[in-house]
Amino acid sequence: MKLAACALSLLHCRRIFRPSFSLFFSSICSPQSQSPHNHHCITETSQSYPQSTNNKLNFISHFLCLTKTLTQNPKDINALAHLDSLLTHIQSFDSVTSVAAIDALCHLKKLNRAKSVLLHLKDNLKGSPYFAFSMVFDCLVKDGKLDDVEIQWGEIFGGCGVNLSDYVIHVCKWGDLEEIKRVCERVLMGSRVLGRQSYLALIGALYDEGLMAKSVVHEMYCKGFRVDDVTYIVTFQCFCRNGDLDEADWVIRKMVKSGSHIDVCIYGSFMHALCKAGKLREANKLFSKLMKRDCFRDSTIKSLKEGRRVVFQLKCEGVVPEMMAYEIYFRSLCSASKLDDAEMLLKKMMKKRAVPQVCVYGSFIKALFRVGREEDATKFFNVERKKRLMPPDELAKFVIMELCQKGRIDDAMRTFNEFVVMGTLCNCVNLCNCLLGGLWSSGKSTEAEEYFNRMKHGSLAPPNLQTYRLMICGFCDHGNFTKALDVFEEMLAKNIPIERSICETVISSLCKHGMVGDAYKYLNDMTRTSYMEQEDLFGKLVGCYKPLAFMSRLVCLQD
The confidence score (pLDDT) of residue 300 equals 53
Q: 212 vs 294, which has greater pLDDT?
A: 212
Q: Compute the CA torsion angle 345, 348, 350, 353 (nearest 10 deg).
A: -140
Q: Where are the domains of the chain?
A: 1-128+549-559, 374-426, 431-535
- Nearest CA to 339 out of 364, 359, 357, 360 is that of 364
Mean pLDDT of 25-45: 37
Mean pLDDT of 114-128: 78
Q: At residue 426, does pLDDT exceed 60?
A: yes
The confidence score (pLDDT) of residue 355 equals 72
Q: In this structure, which amino acid lies at residue 436?
A: L
The confidence score (pLDDT) of residue 378 equals 92
The confidence score (pLDDT) of residue 163 equals 86
The confidence score (pLDDT) of residue 18 equals 28
CATH topology of domain 431-535: 1.25.40
Mean pLDDT of 514-521: 76
Q: At residue 339, does pLDDT exceed 50?
A: yes
Whole-number average pLDDT of the chain = 78
The confidence score (pLDDT) of residue 552 equals 34
Residue 426 Cα distances to 380, 391, 413, 421, 441, angstroms: 23, 15, 12, 9, 21
Q: 421 vs 254, which has greater pLDDT?
A: 254
The confidence score (pLDDT) of residue 265 equals 86
Q: 24 vs 282, which has greater pLDDT?
A: 282
State the first-to-last Cα distance of the chain, in angstroms, to the nearest integer.
Answer: 26
Q: At residue 557, does pLDDT exceed 70?
A: no
Least confident of 97-111, 213-227, 312-326, 393-407: 312-326
Return the SS3 of 500: helix
Rounded Cα–Cα distance for residues 304 and 249 (Å): 12
Give the chain's largest Cα–Cα span.
97
Q: At residue 44, does pLDDT exceed 50?
A: no
Task: Band the pLDDT of 493: cuts 50, 70, 90.
Answer: confident
Q: 539 vs 283, which has greater pLDDT?
A: 283
The confidence score (pLDDT) of residue 29 equals 37
